[in-house]
Structure 1
Amino acid sequence: MQGRVHSTESFGSADGPGVRFIIFLKGCPMRCSYCHNPDTWAAEGAEMIEADELLDRAERYRSYWGPEGGITVSGGEALLQTEFVLDLFTKAKARGINTCLDTSLAPFTRNEPYFGTFTKLMDVCDLVMADIKHIDPEEHKKLTGRDNANILDCLRYLSQIGQPLWIRHVLVPGITDVDEYLYRTRDFIAELGNCVKRVEVLPYHTLGIFKWDELNIPYKLRDVDPPTPERTERAQRILRGEM
């Protein structure tokens, strides 16, 4: 089995605990207005690589990982290739490697055969880092092009099985940086209980605009400035239930 790989990063420090080898897979069903990797959207143009080869590459850097490090699979959207990630994580656990999945959860469904594969994947996944793009269904559609009902359903399921979660939320002025939505997001996160190990607010940035320009894709948020440190801190406190 081969995966459609966009690229890898040897020393990731912001994509899970410890130092991590990050595997960016190709293909994504979302079209987030603030995406900084639109070059990962299309499935075409990927490097086809088997799981063992990726793990051999990763283990070259194992001495740098420390007790918490390992591999993180990101995207694009990794769950478009659930069977490959299952193969990769199963082989990683056999080598004693910590596994982390960075995902929007957009492909999730309880329909078979997908759901059965997904449940097996969770058995070999140490941590899920999940983005909540927007808590409001209509605003989520505007922001990403897709509904969020299955995403929230997936998070509830992960809570039910006790899957460790890090929740991430991109703070975009005028879109997600709205107190009403932040408090609704906080209430939803609270419902997930103790499986949520960390909540991170990621300030919107414009560092990926050049990729949109190179791909000739209109960038709708060009006039939106990043949030101030004060707004970012306020959002962080709200989502963590501190105010």
Structure 2
Amino acid sequence: MLRVHSVESLGTFDGPGIRLVIFLQGCNFKCLYCANPDTIECLGGIHYTAESIVQMARNQRPFFGARGGVTVSGGEPLMQARDLIPLFKMLKDEGFNTCIDTNGSILTADVKLLLEYTDLVLLDIKHIHPEKHQMLTGMANGRTLSFARYLQEQNKPVWIRYVLVPGYSNDVQDMHHLGEFLEKMDNVQKLEIQPYHKLGVHKYEALGWDYQLEDVPTNTAEQLNEARDIFAKYVREVVVN
């Protein structure tokens, strides 16, 4: 049984093609810019069986085309890796493309098995600098970078996602360091720059939490172009979402 926060039909920003996106409840990071802070707590959510999600995928199959499929996001979906294994087995048995959007901080035997049934990993690397990563997320980045190396060893297709937060993750030297880390990985197909936004601020108010980046402005076109040009030196395809 999976604890699901919400479901999005016909998603276009979470993997290739048109996708059914399942957002799971619970996250082990607490990113300062999180747009869905209501997914952080592990308790709550709606319980779904693997069969019920597969049935949703069957119903939406006509929209998927050759590239679409099912993406599991969060929260942090790998916190529920054991319960995702039967779901992904069923999806693969029926020919669906499978994708996981993760912060890469969990690499257990269950996660390794789950990855065998995963076509694509969307890996969110929040920051290459350990201390800045800790400041942004409340967690160190060592596990995420080790996860990236494991994906490389397994030759698992990866799209990197990077949120460009002015004053936090747009330092030129840091972006070059991340690019140098990724350059060695032939399995990295794309890097997606995610512009910083404040669309989830109202959720913090509803939860009674302080939003700590209130004074941080959204990205300028120049900042986005600079980041794209830097990463394009290292990764074969770079896009701004």
Pairs within 5 Å for 1:58-207: 58-108=57-107, 114=108, 116-192=109-185, 194-207=186-199
1:230 partner SS: helix
Which residue of structure 2 aligns with residue 239 of structure 1? 231
- The answer to whether structure 1 residue 12 and structure 2 residue 5 are counterparts is no
Q: Gaps (5+ residues) in structure 1? A: 109-113
Contact 1:19 1:68 in 2 (8 A): yes
CA distance in 2 between counterparts of 1:237 and 1:172 reads 16
Which residue of structure 1 aligns with residue 22 of structure 2? 23
2:184 partner SS: helix
- The answer to whether structure 1 residue 55 and structure 2 residue 47 are counterparts is no
Q: CA RMSD in A?
A: 1.2
Which residue of structure 2 aligns with residue 213 of structure 1? 205
| 1:191, distance to aligned residue in structure 2 (A) | 2.2
Which residue of structure 2 aligns with residue 111 of structure 1? none
Contact 1:10 1:58 in 2 (8 A): no
Contact 2:85 2:114 in 1 (8 A): yes
CA distance in 2 between counterparts of 1:152 and 1:216 reads 33
Q: Gaps (5+ residues) in structure 2? A: 236-241
CA distance in 1 between counterparts of 2:201 and 2:193 reads 20
Q: Note the alpha carbon deviations across 1:178-209, whole angstroms, 9 max, x for none.
A: 101111111111122x2001111111001110
CA distance in 1 between counterparts of 2:195 and 2:9 reads 24
| 1:242, distance to aligned residue in structure 2 (A) | 6.6
Identity %: 40
Contact 2:179 2:234 in 1 (8 A): no
CA distance in 1 between counterparts of 2:222 and 2:214 reads 22
CA distance in 2 between counterparts of 1:37 and 1:30 reads 12
Amino acid in structure 2 at the alignment position of 1:125: T
CA distance in 2 between counterparts of 1:66 and 1:231 reads 35
1:61 partner SS: helix
CA distance in 2 between counterparts of 1:80 and 1:118 reads 9
Show structure 1 runs of 4+ deviating over 4 A: none
Contact 2:180 2:234 in 1 (8 A): no
1:5 partner SS: strand
Counterpart of 2:217 (choices 199, 219, 225) is 225
